[in-house]
């Protein structure tokens, strides 16, 4: 295993929090589009994990990923920010869903590429993340949003009441 912290890690959303996201709460309207636009500009229209920058002629295949911190002791999931991901890096973040849809090999390859590790180490990262995910599935979660995000995007307060 590498001695440094991997740049890319699977971080699956616990089942009790499925469908509870800023994207789902805000819909595809102007409020979500503004958050995504701000995140894209901050990331210079490139993946914040692997630096992939798509050619403008291919449209915009980048994803605005919600960054959550899970306080396992207190059962609080806190939205802390937004990151821009390419499809491959985002598929690793949501690797449980990716594997369920037949994308395991692609996700493992992206873990290897970004973290400069071998397949065995990538498989171990996924296995470790699955253990954490299963433990988190057993908890009851409350949702919070950091104060700086609420100040910038007051509409995110709807998440806290979800």
Q: Rounded CA gap, 66 and 153, in Å?
A: 14
Residue 64 has pLDDT above 70, yes or no: yes
What are the tens digits of pLDDT across the range 89-136?
999 999 999 999 999 999 999 999 999 999 999 999 999 999 999 999
Domain locations in the chain as residue ranges: 15-156
Q: How far apart are the first and last CA of the chain?
A: 39
3-state secondary structure 141-161: CEEEECHHHHHHCHHHHHHHC
Q: Rounded CA gap, 104 and 96, in Å?
A: 9
Confidence of residue 4 (pLDDT cuts 50, 70, 90): low
Question: Helix, strand, or coil here: 92?
Answer: helix
- Who's near 123: CB < 8 A, 6+ residues apart? 108
Residue 1 has pLDDT above 50, yes or no: no
Q: Give the pLDDT score at 131.
A: 97
Question: Helix, strand, or coil here: 59?
Answer: coil
The values of phi and psi at residue 100, to 5°, are -60, -25
What are the tens digits of pLDDT across the range 13-45?
999 999 999 999 888 889 999 999 999 999 999
């Amino acid at each position: 295993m590498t001695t440094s912290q991997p740049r890319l890690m699977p971080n699956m959303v616990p089942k009790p929090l499925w469908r509870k996201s800023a994207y789902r709460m805000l819909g595809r309207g102007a409020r979500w589009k503004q958050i995504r636009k701000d995140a894209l500009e901050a990331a210079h229209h490139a993946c914040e994990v692997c630096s992939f920058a798509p050619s403008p002629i291919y449209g915009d295949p980048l994803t605005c990923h919600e960054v959550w911190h899970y306080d396992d002791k207190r059962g609080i999931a806190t939205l802390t920010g937004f990151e821009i991901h390419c499809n491959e890096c985002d598929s690793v973040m949501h690797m449980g869903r990716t594997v369920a849809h037949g994308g395991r090999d692609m996700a493992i390859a992206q873990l290897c590429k970004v973290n400069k590790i071998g397949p065995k180490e990538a498989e171990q990262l996924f296995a470790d993340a699955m253990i954490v995910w299963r433990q988190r599935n057993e908890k009851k979660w409350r949702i919070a949003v950091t104060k700086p995000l609420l100040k910038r995007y007051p509409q995110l307060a709807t998440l806290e009441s979800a």
